[in-house]
Structure formats: C-alpha cells, structure tokens
Amino acid sequence: MDHRGVPLVALDMHPIIDLHVDGAGEVDPNSDLVKGHGGALRHEKMVENVAEKFIVVANDTKLFTRIRWKWFSNAC
C-alpha cells in the first residue's frame, strides 16, 4: 500500500485494469498534447495498453500556445 492506502500490485497480477490516470507534459489550445518522454515511458505505455479507460490530466501550467519543439528535438 502507498501512503494513501492504495494497494500497489504488479501488472502481471492484474493484466487488465479499470482506469489509468496520468499527467500531460504540454497541452495546446486544440487539446493536442505531449505526455513527455521520461524514464518511465515504457512502463506508462504498458499500463496504458491494458487499461479499460485512460485519462490525461493537466493544469494551467501545462497549457501552451503550441507544443514546444524541445520535446521532438531528440526524436529524429
């Protein structure tokens, strides 16, 4: 259990989960978004793929007039 009382289990013990909630890195006015490319990307994608529902949340600090190029500079 984590400090909020939420049980923590291995993904292989629960191959289908009801809900996956994660935060956005950046969001533009069209609601296009970038999740980011941190070290947990592989794990996040695995959880996203087995979730019945996937919700991305963001506050106003994540809103930009356009997605910044820095997210893509290392992708090419």
**Would you say 50 and 17 are in contact if contact means Cβ atoms under 8 Å apart?**
yes
Report the 10 Å Cβ neighbour count for 54.
13
Catalytic residue numbers, as ranges: 44
Tell me the two tokens of residue 7: 């049980």
Which helix (DSSP H) or strand (DSSP E) does residue 67 occupy?
none
Pairing relationship of beta strands 33-34 and 26-27 according to DSSP bridges: antiparallel
